[in-house]
Structure 1
């Protein structure tokens, strides 16, 4: 569906609701929707805003109900995770974690770093 088609369907939905809920004629309802979209004021443009808000509320109601139903489960999960983290023996945050610099270069599994890459190499003698 293109944006233009979606806008047309939304306008028709608003017009139908204006006819059904506010007893406007189809022409009055469409004119009010078009005036509202253009930013103009008319005798019924405030009703368009009311119906748009009602549509949003109706669409959001199941989402709000789901969020309210899930709130106890989310709280329980947060409490369980908090208890688990408290039981784990984690190092205190103020102690530095050791890194690779805690031992000399010769003790690393890869050996010391090369001395200098810019040094001229001696030509290899042909055998």
Structure 2
């Protein structure tokens, strides 16, 4: 849906709601929505803003209910993550403060170097 189509559908929705909830005629509702879109003042432009606010409130109600239901789980998860972070920040007493070798070194020494084969040796292997 393009922005123009969305704007037209929103205007039709507001016109329908103005007719149904405020008893305006079709022409009065269309005029009020058009005036509000142009930024003009008219006898019914305040009703357009009231209906737009009501539409948004109705659309957001399921999201508010979902967020309220999710809040305890999110708070519990936040507490668990804070406890995990605190546990990971403390260093256990069993770990030595300074290891006997650098962190990148292994106890087995460097990896063995691969010897390059000559062409004759490679041909024999195949």
Normalised to the residue count of structure 1, the TM-score between the two structures is 0.68
Distance in 2, Cα, partners of 1:38 & 1:79:
50
- Counterpart in 1 of 2:59? 59
Distance in 1, Cα, partners of 2:40 & 2:88:
63
- Counterpart in 2 of 1:3? 3
Look up the SS of the partner of 2:12 in the other structure: helix
Provide structure 1 residue ranges, at least 5 long, that are not aligned to the other structure.
92-101, 103-108, 110-127
Distance in 2, Cα, partners of 1:89 & 1:3:
50
Normalised to the residue count of structure 2, the TM-score between the two structures is 0.69
Counterpart check, 1:25 vs 2:25: yes
Distance in 2, Cα, partners of 1:78 & 1:7:
40
Provide structure 2 residue ranges, at least 5 long, that are not aligned to the other structure.
92-101, 103-109, 111-126
CA RMSD of aligned residues (A): 1.6
Look up the SS of the partner of 2:32 in the other structure: helix
Q: 1:62-77 counterparts in 2 under 5 A?
A: 62-77=62-77
* Structure 1 residue 4: Cα displacement: 1.4
Distance in 2, Cα, partners of 1:66 & 1:14:
26
Q: 1:1-127 counterparts in 2 under 5 A?
A: 1-90=1-90
Distance in 2, Cα, partners of 1:26 & 1:89:
67
Structure 1 runs (4+) deviating above 6 angstroms are none
Return closer, same or farther for 1:86/1:12 CA change in 2, 3 Å cut-off.
same
